[in-house]
């Protein structure tokens, strides 16, 4: 069974029962499935609220952290993020917490069909956003309520072998052909020590979690991995989603990145690209598959 298969199914009828049962003021509102990922499914209610339900147990602690910290973070960041407004409790046969937030406009970067040459504005916007998120004042604001990098994304002793495995999977499936540069990248990173972990991170910032509306970044979503860790975890998006002038714009906006941070970020970008490529191919998501393949090319270049 693929690792992204749900452990608990939430369809529109179950979502309606939960929402109307706990929030009577939303009875009779329209409801439609909006998106689904590995860990959560999202429904749009009344064409203005995005309700997010975990569908795997591994996502539940992250949803709790989103409920706890996103409202406090939002006022300190230059791009919209979800603000939990309706906080639901486990009910009947559905065992986990869930929440609704104002619906942010746009589509995933993975689905925006935005050519690399037209991504400079998006790169700059994400660079400014991460500079604000990674600022010490944000760590002072919410850091005490967040775990230390529970996924060990920046720990190359773990991440390099996982990246090798993911890349081998997509190569064996004929989805992508790694160049010699990929092996060199992973070999070079394998000896890196675990970095200090002091920064508030989105924790899973990639092509599916950045929204694009009319060519501009309109929001950053899916904060289930928000934590304290090394900036390379979030900076991976600079190497997976941007190249050329767009990456230069990102780096100009964010600030200098040292060589070891870049190396870690490229490995994380390669890992994410390969994981998303496998998922997209399995789920028949053609746009995501294409963007994931291109993200691997960017990370390895």
Helix (H, G, I), strand (E, B) or coil at 102: strand
Instruction: Check pLDDT > 60 for residue 1.
Output: no
Q: Measure the CA–CA gap between 186 and 156, rounded to whole angstroms.
A: 9
Domains of the chain (ranges; CATH) run: 12-102 (3.30.200.20), 107-300 (3.90.1200.10)
Q: Measure the CA–CA gap between 149 and 146, rounded to whole angstroms.
A: 9
Contact 88, 19 (CB under 8 A): yes
Instruction: Check pLDDT > 80 for residue 221.
Output: yes
pLDDT digit string, tens, across residues 153-165: 999 999 999 999 9
Q: If you count them, how many residues does the chain have? A: 301
pLDDT digit string, tens, across residues 41-98: 999 999 999 999 999 998 899 999 999 999 999 989 999 999 999 999 998 789 999 9
Contact 54, 63 (CB under 8 A): yes
Sign of CA dihedral 182, 187, 194, 278: positive
Q: What is the pLDDT of residue 264?
A: 98
Number of Cβ atoms within 10 Å of the Cβ of 142: 18
Which pLDDT band, with edges at 50, 70 and 90, does 108 fall under?
very high
Closest by alpha carbon to 99, among 125, 141, 70?
A: 70
Q: What is the pLDDT of residue 25?
A: 96
Q: Which helix (H) or strand (E) holds 235?
A: helix 232-240
């Amino acid at each position: 069974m693929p690792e992204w298969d749900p452990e608990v199914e939430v369809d529109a009828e179950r979502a309606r029962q939960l929402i109307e049962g706990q929030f009577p003021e939303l009875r009779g509102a329209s409801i439609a499935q909006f998106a689904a990922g590995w860990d959560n499914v999202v429904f749009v209610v009344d064409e203005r609220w995005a309700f997010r339900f975990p569908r795997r147990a591994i996502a539940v602690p992250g949803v709790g952290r989103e409920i706890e910290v996103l409202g406090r973070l939002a006022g300190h960041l230059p791009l919209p993020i979800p603000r939990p407004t309706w906080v639901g409790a486990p009910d009947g046969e559905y065992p986990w917490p869930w929440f609704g937030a104002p619906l942010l406009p746009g589509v995933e970067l993975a689905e925006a069909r935005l050519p690399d040459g037209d991504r400079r504005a998006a790169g700059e916007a994400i660079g400014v956003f991460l500079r604000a998120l990674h600022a010490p004042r944000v760590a002072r604001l919410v850091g005490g309520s967040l775990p230390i990098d529970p996924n060990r994304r920046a720990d190359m002793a773990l991440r390099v072998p996982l990246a090798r495995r993911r890349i081998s999977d997509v190569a064996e499936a004929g989805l992508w052909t790694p160049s010699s540069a990929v092996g060199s990248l992973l070999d070079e990173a394998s000896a890196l020590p675990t970095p200090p972990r002091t920064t508030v991170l989105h924790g899973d910032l990639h092509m599916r979690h950045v929204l694009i509306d009319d060519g501009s970044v309109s929001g950053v979503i899916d904060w289930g991995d928000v934590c304290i860790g090394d900036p390379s975890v979030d900076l991976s998006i600079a190497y997976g989603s941007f190249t050329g002038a767009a990456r230069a714009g990102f780096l100009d906006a964010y600030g200098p990145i040292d060589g070891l941070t870049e190396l870690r970020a490229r490995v994380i970008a390669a890992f994410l690209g390969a994981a998303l490529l496998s998922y997209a191919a399995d789920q028949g998501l053609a746009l995501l598959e294409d963007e994931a393949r291109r993200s691997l090319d960017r990370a390895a270049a």
